[in-house]
């Protein structure tokens, strides 16, 4: 039986190089050195690492393979050193193994394979390994600005079990706020006009929220999902609360814009102030008639396109032909059980290589 391939070996090295968001320089240098050893044109800067393989024929489309080098902190619950790059029974364990260093390694290996063959038939194959994806400070927008050419299609490297993800939910974070009247709690029940209690106003409005629905249903992602995740009220134990606030997590779909959802909530909850906290993670889907998806299906006919509840840097490539595709089980991301078989990483490299060959033929 043959041992781990080029992609798997690189993934082990990357996992063994800690790169929690904000501290990615060492892993970026490691990837840069590896790419130079493979004869790939490479640039490393403050946005990440860029690998470029030009086609044999000038001109043609640019296919982007995009993923990220940063990870979340290791957290608790590990029974091993999360940054040791430990391999047991052919399985790589550690922080970032799934999310998303396996994708980075497989994409880089695919680029190396094409570089060794003199490049694809036409166009450009570009790999972007960026920083800060796990935070609000992702470098992806700046890295895209520096490409110097229009991206025609993009594979976003995130764990999908090597199945093409053709739609992902967005995230809309809202603050719901209710106003009341501040009075001494001892007098509240005896006043001629009972004061508005912000908590009771909130309870009434939240009951309305439980019945809220947007009219359109996305064929793959279904309806939007609304989940209150925090609530806060009160200034003292003997004072009626003047305000009450709740944080609302809204998982959105391409069936409705974020603006439509906010306006509908304001109509449905007439006593609620709705404030947008974050709306940058918009829902994304692969466009109808996607040439990239066709290339994937030619390279791997048994593929089963699906939709994902998780967000990614795909949001920054929403205007191009895009598919989220990578090795690993997304349910293991950010856990103390993060692990991936080495053979799946090498299989991902072969798939990326084949898709590039199909798209840049």
- pLDDT band of 191, cuts 50, 70, 90: low
CB 312 within 8 A of CB 134: no
User: Looking at residues 118-129, what average pLDDT do you find?
Assistant: 96
Residue 233 has pLDDT above 80, yes or no: yes
- pLDDT band of 58, cuts 50, 70, 90: confident
* pLDDT of res. 216: 97
- pLDDT band of 186, cuts 50, 70, 90: confident
* pLDDT of res. 293: 98
Question: Could you tell me which of 323, 325, 328, 324 has the C-alpha nearest to residue 345?
Answer: 328
User: Looking at residues 178-198, what average pLDDT do you find?
Assistant: 76
| Residue 162 main-chain phi, psi, to 5 deg | 65, 15
* pLDDT of res. 201: 94
Give the Å distances, CA to CA, from 122 to 29, 62, 63, 297: 29, 9, 10, 20
Q: Can you list the domains of the chain with their CATH numbers?
A: 6-168+283-359 (3.40.630.10), 170-280 (3.30.70.360)
Tokens encoding 243 = 């305000």
More confident residue, 1 or 79: 79
User: Looking at residues 245-258, what average pLDDT do you find?
Assistant: 96
More confident residue, 108 or 210: 108
Residue 360 has pLDDT above 60, yes or no: yes
Average pLDDT across the chain, whole number: 94
* pLDDT of res. 48: 98
Per-residue pLDDT tens for 81-102? 999 999 999 999 999 999 999 9
User: Looking at residues 288-307, what average pLDDT do you find?
Assistant: 97
* pLDDT of res. 112: 98
Tokens encoding 41 = 């044109």
- pLDDT band of 107, cuts 50, 70, 90: very high
Determine the Cα–Cα distance for residues 192 and 41; give it in Å rounded to an integer: 79
More confident residue, 8 or 184: 8
Residue 192 has pLDDT above 60, yes or no: no
User: Looking at residues 206-212, what average pLDDT do you find?
Assistant: 93
Per-residue pLDDT tens for 310-340? 889 999 999 999 999 999 999 999 999 999 9
* pLDDT of res. 57: 85
Pairing mode, if any, of strands 339-341 and 91-93? antiparallel
Question: Could you tell me which of 243, 208, 209 has the C-alpha nearest to residue 226?
Answer: 209
* pLDDT of res. 59: 84
Q: Whole-prediction pTM value?
A: 0.89
| Residue 357 main-chain phi, psi, to 5 deg | -60, -40
Query: Across-strand partners of 273?
Result: 177
Determine the Cα–Cα distance for residues 242 and 199; give it in Å rounded to an integer: 9
């Amino acid at each position: 039986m043959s041992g781990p391939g080029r992609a798997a070996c690189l993934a082990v090295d990357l996992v063994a190089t800690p790169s929690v968001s904000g501290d990615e320089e060492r892993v970026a240098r490691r990837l840069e050195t590896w790419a130079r050893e493979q004869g790939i044109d490479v640039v490393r800067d403050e946005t990440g690492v860029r690998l470029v393989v030009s086609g044999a024929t000038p001109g043609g489309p640019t296919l982007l393979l995009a993923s990220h080098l940063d990870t979340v902190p290791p957290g608790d619950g590990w029974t091993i050193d999360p940054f040791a790059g430990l391999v047991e029974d052919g399985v790589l364990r550690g922080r970032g193994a799934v999310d998303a260093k396996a994708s980075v390694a497989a994409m880089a290996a695919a680029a190396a394979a094409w570089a060794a063959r003199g490049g694809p038939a036409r166009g450009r194959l570009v790999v972007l390994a960026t920083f800060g994806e796990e935070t609000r400070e992702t470098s992806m927008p700046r890295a895209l600005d520096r490409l110097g050419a229009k991206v025609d299609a993009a594979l976003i490297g995130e764990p999908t079990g090597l199945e093409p993800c053709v739609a992902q939910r967005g995230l809309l974070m809202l603050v719901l706020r209710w106003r009341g009247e501040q009075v001494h709690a001892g007098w509240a029940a005896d006043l001629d006009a009972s004061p508005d209690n912000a908590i009771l106003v909130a309870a009434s409005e939240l009951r309305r929220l439980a019945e809220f629905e947007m009219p359109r249903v996305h064929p793959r992602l279904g309806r939007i999902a609304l989940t209150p995740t925090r609530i806060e009220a009160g200034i003292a134990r003997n004072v009626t609360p003047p305000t009450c606030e709740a944080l609302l997590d809204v998982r959105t779909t391409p069936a409705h814009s974020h603006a439509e959802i906010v306006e509908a909530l304001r109509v449905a909850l007439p006593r609620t102030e709705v404030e947008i906290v974050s709306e940058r993670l918009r829902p994304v889907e692969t466009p109808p008639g996607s040439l990239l998806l066709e290339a994937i299906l030619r390279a791997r006919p048994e593929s089963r396109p699906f939709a994902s509840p998780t967000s990614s840097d795909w949001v920054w490539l929403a205007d191009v032909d895009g598919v989220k595709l990578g090795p690993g089980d997304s349910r293991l991301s950010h856990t103390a059980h993060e692990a991936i078989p080495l053979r799946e990483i090498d299989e991902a490299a072969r798939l990326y290589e084949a898709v590039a060959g199909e798209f840049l033929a």
